[in-house]
Amino acid sequence: MATDPRAERSGRGRALLAGAAHLIWPALALALLLAFNAAFTPGFFHVEIRDGRLYGTLVDILNHGSRLGIVALGMTLVIATSGVDLSVGAVMAIAGAVAATMVVRDAASFPAVLAGALATGLAAGLWNGWLVSRLRIQPIVATLVLMVAGRGIAQLVTDGLIITTNDPRLAFIAGGSLLGLPLPVTLAAAALALLALATRKSSLGLFLEAVGDNETASRYAGLDARGVVLLAYAVAGVCAALAGLIEVSYIRAADANNAGLFVELDAILAVVIGGTALTGGRFYLVGSLLGALFIQTLTKTMYMKDVSADVASIPKAIVVILVCLLQSPVVRGRIAARRRPP
């Protein structure tokens, strides 16, 4: 089969354009929310330099948004295979518990702590992937197991206590800064770069989308569909573990009960806002990061506008519904049809 290099190039160009077109919607939603804050929230855009690093609400959004974004990146791959990982919050708690216990009780070396936490995430991800790909349990049920049991495991690791640590190296993960920005921002950027390289510069991305679109067809085409699914869950587990490390570092304590609580919902929402469909197939890593930043900005807006926590979920829900409507091709088609002259 001879391929015309020009045709291939234009095909790739079109694919890139299509990806960029998808990013417009989450980017637009984020821009609108920021514009609202620019107009109505005094001090929202105020950034100054304190102790040699940037200090301000926008920096906080980047910092906390990165933690959620890292979870969302892993979730994106799982959702691309038409799966879902509900256990990410619990995996965050387990990985955090392992890290803090290794630091405090075992006085382990720092590389060992990092390796231990990430390996915990990998093991959790492989367990989920094994349940889904080999035992063919539905993803929502398979990952529910660890979502429920995971917190118990984390409690076992910490003995049910909040383990406080003042280890400066562990505190650096969330508290340190690079080029004036908090380290989690760098970690999220690195995770994005790594996953984008792995999925776009090799055929892995194509495999993920093929499995997500039609697993049976991809298997008949000679793809190791089970291996691809296993890999996606493993990556999600490692991403969750990294986020768990950041969380421990952030409060300098492992709080097995509250670390990453309900993060799975925010992560799924971030992926959906980012333009990836829950039915699998096409996925947008940058979109998921934008989605995470959008959710974090929304949360911060509620804090800054003094919206009471009792009712904060209502404006949040309304904004999320609007964003989802904005993304619906049906709604967009109707708006376009109305605008066009008959």
Partner 1 sequence: MNPIRILAIAAAVAGAALGAAGQDQPGGKKVRVGFAQIGAESDWRKANTESIKSEAAARGVDLKFSDAQQKQENQIKAIRAFVAQGVDVIAFSPVVETGWEPVLKECKRAGIPVILTDRAVDTQDPSLYVTFIGADFVEEGRRAANWVVKAVGSSANIAELQGTPGSAPAIDRKKGFEEVIKAHPGLKITKSQSGEFTRAKGKEVMESFLKSPEGKQINVLFAHNDDMALGAIQAIEEAGLKPGVDIKIVSIDAVRAAFEAMIAGKLNCTVECNPLLGPQLFDAVEAVMAKKELPRRIVTKESVFEQSGAAATIKDRKY
Q: What DSSP string runs through 260-316?
A: TTTHHHHHHHHHHHTT--TT-S---HHHHHHHHHHHHHHHHHHHHTT--TTTTHHHH
Nearer to partner 1, 203 or 257 (CB): 257
Burial of 62 (0-12, 13-18, 19+ CB in 10 A): buried
Letters for 136-165 (x = contact with partner 1 by CB under 8 A, - = none) are: ---------------x---x----xxx-x-
Beta bridge partners of 53: 50
* Residue 169 found at the interface with partner 1 (CB under 8 A): no
Where does this chain touch partner 1 (CB under 8 A) — which range of 50-58, 73-81, 202-210, 319-327?
Answer: 50-58
In whole angstroms, give the CA distance from residue 265 to residue 76.
Answer: 13
Q: Which two three-digit tokens encode residue 327?
A: 């993304």
Nearer to partner 1, 3 or 308 (CB): 308
In whole angstroms, give the CA distance from residue 195 to residue 306.
Answer: 37
* Residue 52 found at the interface with partner 1 (CB under 8 A): no
Letters for 246-265 (x = contact with partner 1 by CB under 8 A, - = none) are: -x--xxxx-xxxxx-x----
CB 236, CB 125: distance < 8 Å: yes
* Residue 282 found at the interface with partner 1 (CB under 8 A): no
# chain residues binding partner 1, by CB under 8 A:
35
| Beta carbon of residue 300, minimum distance to partner 1 (angstroms, whole number) | 6
CA-to-CA dists, residue 52 to 35, 45, 180, 182, angstroms: 28, 19, 7, 11
* Residue 64 found at the interface with partner 1 (CB under 8 A): yes
Nearer to partner 1, 215 or 247 (CB): 247
Where does this chain touch partner 1 (CB under 8 A) — which range of 46-54, 108-116, 123-131, 329-337?
Answer: 46-54
Where in 155-235 does DSSP place strands (E)?
Answer: 163-164, 177-178, 181-182
Letters for 307-326 (x = contact with partner 1 by CB under 8 A, - = none) are: -xxx----------------
Positions 283 through 302 that interact with partner 1 (CB under 8 A): 300
* Residue 46 found at the interface with partner 1 (CB under 8 A): yes
Q: Which two three-digit tokens encode residue 336?
A: 């376009």
In whole angstroms, give the CA distance from residue 341 to residue 264.
Answer: 44
Positions that interact with partner 1 (CB under 8 A)? 42-43, 46, 50-51, 55-57, 60, 64, 151, 155, 160-162, 164, 175, 247, 250-253, 255-259, 261, 300, 303-304, 306, 308-310
